[in-house]
Amino acid sequence: MIARVVQKNLKITCPACDQKLDASEIPAFTRVNCPSCSAAIVVPCRFGQYLIEEPLGEDRLSGVYRALDLKLSREVALRILDADLAKHAEAVQAFVEAGRRIAVLTHAYIVPIYSSGDFEGLPFLVMEYMPGRSAADQMARTGAALPWPEAVGLCEKAARGLDAANREGMAHGGFTPRNILLGSERHVKVGDFGLTRFKRLSASHLGLPAEAVVCSPYSSPETWRAGAVDARADLYSLGAVLYHLLAGQAPFGADAAARLRTLGMLPARKPRDINSRTPARLNALCMKLMAPDPAARPASYREAIGELAALGEQAARTARPVKPAPGAGRGAGGGVAGKAPARGAGRAGSVDWAQRHRVRRAGRRTRRVFDVAILCSLLLLVVVFAAAAARRPQWYVRNIEPGVRWLRERLSLAFRNPVPEAAPPPERGEEEDGDDGVAIPSWRPMQANGTAPVETDWGRLPIPSAPPAGMEARPRPRDLDFSSVRAELDAYLQSQPAAFRPVESERVGMVRSARGYLVRLMQYVPYDGSDGIGLRNGGVVRGVAPYANERGISVRVKGGGAELVKIGWADLSFEQYLAMFQFYVNQRLGLSGVASGEGRIEGGHDAARDYLLMAVLCDWYGYPERARDYGERARRLDPRMEAPLKRMLAASDG
């Protein structure tokens, strides 16, 4: 066992507040309070590659501790031989041999042995740590017997573990409630197998009688008499443990002399005499397991496991709610007890089919009314929107018509130039440098069968003739906030010819969404302005913009610490808006470049849509050459953009 030694250079961390503490002058396993948060801390102890955190149980032969394996970073349980016994070679050999025999056992209800070793002359076994402690600890906390279904479940699983060890030729020899260990989610395992020989040798070296070390209040009479350890003796111990779980006390008390006087006798009181809720069948099984004559006990573990499993099923059926039988609570003729049978009812217990048919018919009528109401609502909405489309009021032109045109365009593009689902990803050609030095992938569309690239004339971008005069009257807010110039927009659209007005309304919808779209992008990925954020007054701010809203952006200036500098949208230059959009296009192209299949196609398409927005924005603010450049980039990324480019960049030719 581990002495409460004072360790040098021991640094620990409070698990509650992560405060670093110096525990060099404090004995191991001393409980102290953290000076920062007053949380209780147990001073650990180094033991080779293990950090022992707290003792779980000790006796005269060994001690069990909860420890942390520093190499594997997992919690384990260490059984360490007593320092006095470690001086005797026979006891050490018996301890190590017991560990080897237990390590052979591999079963769901047996605590496994991970390894063994020796540190500074102290042999130890490394076992799985069971955080739920033992059945004895659970009873000590509650101070009462367990509910009989829970006791049956624990003993059934323990019996399965004992049976598995018995099939390998190993008896437990000292089964008690402390050997039923509880893990996470109430998983049950049996521990401390095969320690009988080690206990007998240790008793002789300690000058103690063998029964004082080997026997317990749960040992069989033959174990007390001759030290016999076999499956029948373990069955007796299983019954004694079941007695304790049901009655809340050991069968014969804790005094050794009293146990000796009761050899060959049954307990004076049965579990059912102490706990009246114990079923008679379970009471009989417990007393059969504790029969003084080994031949009167169950013939094998299978018999005991079968009885325990049947009792467990009985407990499950008792806990499960019972559904009332059809016709329960009814009197003769199917009516309610105490009342006359309903009209049309037949003999006793028969079903009233007429009533059932009426209920179903009423339900169908309700569903029909609900369906008709939904259909009428949809038809009313269609009529309203059709009337609005015919009259085309301002609210329809501003809010609905751009979305309808966009949807119509998307559907037409999808049916005219579909992207095959099973086609391989489009090939990627050589990259070209744009005007701002950004590498633009030259995407070549695939044919419908995905076999050969389609040759495309990249130099051809036909632009319709310029729209009528008056384009200079377009409202161009410096901060891209078109909601502040709504009246000017309405007046401008009304001043345009009727043939040109729908396309111009669509352009208005795109430029109005530009700033909100940029805000949403910056909410997901901060804008990196390390090369400079250009201001309208000619100034430059270098830093990263992690936040943006409708009022402006917040920049963490490079080399300026954690303080944020707020810049309004109106203070940014138009070139800076384009640089921000280009930054997020580059992000899309970077992601699509490492993607494959549909992800690669979708990434190129999204980047092309961003270039289309940039082209329309430049066209609106009077930069036709930049508009053509961004339009060409959009078409290179996705040839399907040619149709909207022809329509949206009509002003670029003027």
pTM of the model: 0.49
The Cα–Cα gap between 115 and 128 comes to: 10
Residues 483-518: pLDDT tens digits? 888 888 888 888 888 888 888 888 888 988 999 988
Residues 437-464: pLDDT tens digits? 433 333 333 333 333 333 333 344 444 3
Q: Which has more pLDDT, 570 or 433?
A: 570
- Going by C-alpha positions, the residue among 642, 591, 647, 596 that lies closest to residue 619 is 647
Q: Does residue 377 surpass a pLDDT of 60?
A: yes
Q: How confident is the model at residue 651, as a pLDDT? A: 45
Phi first, then psi: what are they for 568, rounded to 5°? -75, 155
The Cα–Cα gap between 583 and 495 comes to: 36
Claim to verify: residue 120 and residue 253 sit in the same structural domain: no
By DSSP bridging, strand 50-58 and strand 62-69 are antiparallel
Q: Tokens at residue 546, please?
A: 């992690």
Residues 340-376: pLDDT tens digits? 444 444 443 344 555 555 666 676 777 788 888 888 9
Claim to verify: residue 542 and residue 616 sit in the same structural domain: yes
Q: How confident is the model at residue 604, as a pLDDT? A: 77
- Going by C-alpha positions, the residue among 217, 234, 233, 231 that lies closest to residue 293 is 233
Contact 604, 635 (CB under 8 A): no
Q: Does residue 282 surpass a pLDDT of 90?
A: yes
The pLDDT-based confidence of 304 (bands split at 50, 70, 90) is: very high
Q: How confident is the model at residue 198, as a pLDDT? A: 85
Which H or E run includes 163? helix 148-167
Claim to verify: residue 121 and residue 154 sit in the same structural domain: no
Claim to verify: residue 530 and residue 626 sit in the same structural domain: yes
Claim to verify: residue 119 and residue 153 sit in the same structural domain: no
Claim to verify: residue 213 and residue 293 sit in the same structural domain: yes
Claim to verify: residue 174 and residue 278 sit in the same structural domain: yes
Claim to verify: residue 124 and residue 176 sit in the same structural domain: no
Q: How confident is the model at residue 579, as a pLDDT? A: 92
Q: Is residue 378 part of a domain?
A: no
The pLDDT-based confidence of 225 (bands split at 50, 70, 90) is: confident
The pLDDT-based confidence of 391 (bands split at 50, 70, 90) is: low
Q: What is the DSSP letter of 397?
A: I
Contact 79, 127 (CB under 8 A): yes
Q: Does residue 470 surpass a pLDDT of 70?
A: no
* DSSP reduced 3-state for 181: strand
The Cα–Cα gap between 470 and 487 comes to: 17
Residues in the chain: 654
Radius of gyration of the chain (CA): 42
- Determine the average pLDDT of the residues in 68-86: 91
| CA–CA–CA angle 399, 403, 638 (5° rounding) | 145
Contact 180, 109 (CB under 8 A): no
Q: How confident is the model at residue 269, as a pLDDT? A: 84
Q: Is residue 487 part of a domain?
A: no
- Domain end: 128, 161, 191, which one? 128
The Cα–Cα gap between 207 and 1 comes to: 19
Q: Is residue 552 part of a domain?
A: yes
- Going by C-alpha positions, the residue among 138, 147, 143, 180 that lies closest to residue 275 is 147
Q: Tokens at residue 502, please?
A: 């729908």
Contact 242, 139 (CB under 8 A): no
Claim to verify: residue 428 and residue 458 sit in the same structural domain: yes
Counting the structural domains of the chain, the total is 3
The Cα–Cα gap between 124 and 101 comes to: 14
Residues 2-51: pLDDT tens digits? 655 667 777 788 888 888 888 777 888 888 888 888 888 888 888 999 99
Contact 607, 593 (CB under 8 A): no
Q: Is residue 368 part of a domain?
A: no
Q: How confident is the model at residue 236, as a pLDDT? A: 92
The Cα–Cα gap between 89 and 205 comes to: 11
Q: How confident is the model at residue 457, as a pLDDT? A: 38
Q: Does residue 428 surpass a pLDDT of 50?
A: no
Q: What is the DSSP letter of 333?
A: G
Q: What is the CATH number of the domain that holds 229?
A: 1.10.510.10
Q: Which has more pLDDT, 284 or 321?
A: 284
The Cα–Cα gap between 191 and 135 comes to: 12
Claim to verify: residue 635 and residue 520 sit in the same structural domain: yes
- Going by C-alpha positions, the residue among 179, 192, 166, 297 that lies closest to residue 245 is 179
Q: Is residue 628 part of a domain?
A: yes
Q: What is the CATH number of the domain that holds 18?
A: 3.30.200.20
Q: Is residue 332 part of a domain?
A: no
Q: How confident is the model at residue 595, as a pLDDT? A: 43
Claim to verify: residue 590 and residue 640 sit in the same structural domain: yes
Q: Which residues 6+ apart lie within 8 Å of 31 measured at CB?
A: 40, 41, 42, 43
Residue with tokens 């992601």: 591
Residue 85 domain boundaries: 11-128
Question: Looking at the DSSP assignment, which residues form a beta bridge with residue 46?
Answer: 51
The Cα–Cα gap between 98 and 172 comes to: 11
- Domain end: 128, 150, 169, which one? 128
Q: Is the dihedral of CA 348, 351, 352, 354 positive or negative?
A: negative
For residues 617-642, one letter each, b for 16 or more C-beta atoms within 10 angstroms of the residue's C-beta and e for the rest, the string is bbbbbebbebbbbbbbbbbbbbbbbb
Claim to verify: residue 161 and residue 288 sit in the same structural domain: yes
The Cα–Cα gap between 481 and 577 comes to: 13
Q: Tokens at residue 241, please?
A: 């443990």
- Determine the average pLDDT of the residues in 58-71: 89
Q: How confident is the model at residue 284, as a pLDDT? A: 94
Q: Which has more pLDDT, 574 or 451?
A: 574
Which burial class, exposed, middle or buried, applies to 48 when counting CB atoms under 10 A from its CB (0-12, 13-18, 19+)? Answer: middle
Q: Kindly report which listed range (205-214, 254-263, 488-497) carries the lowest average pLDDT score.
A: 254-263
Residues 154-191: pLDDT tens digits? 999 999 999 999 998 899 988 999 999 998 777 899 99
Q: Which has more pLDDT, 420 or 575?
A: 575
Q: Which residues 6+ apart lie within 8 Å of 453 measured at CB?
A: 427, 444, 445, 446, 447
Q: Which residues 6+ apart lie within 8 Å of 479 measured at CB?
A: 515, 568, 569, 570, 572
Contact 234, 226 (CB under 8 A): no
Q: Is residue 353 part of a domain?
A: no
Residue with tokens 């669509």: 506
The Cα–Cα gap between 287 and 273 comes to: 12
Compute CA distances 302 → 156, 205, 284, 412, 452, whole Å.
Answer: 10, 39, 17, 73, 71
Q: Does residue 466 surpass a pLDDT of 50?
A: no
Question: Looking at the DSSP assignment, which residues form a beta bridge with residue 119?
Answer: 122
- Domain end: 294, 318, 342, which one? 318
Long-range contacts of residues 277-281, Cβ cutoff 8 Å, at least 24 apart: 277/147, 277/148, 278/148, 278/246, 279/148, 279/311, 279/314, 281/307, 281/311, 281/314
- Looking at every residue in the chain, the average pLDDT score rounds to 78
Residues 596-646: pLDDT tens digits? 455 556 667 888 889 999 999 998 898 888 998 999 999 888 888 888 888
Q: Tokens at residue 397, please?
A: 């032109």
Q: Is residue 594 part of a domain?
A: yes
Q: How confident is the model at residue 310, as a pLDDT? A: 93
- Determine the average pLDDT of the residues in 206-233: 79
Q: How confident is the model at residue 562, as a pLDDT? A: 62
Q: Does residue 243 surpass a pLDDT of 90?
A: yes
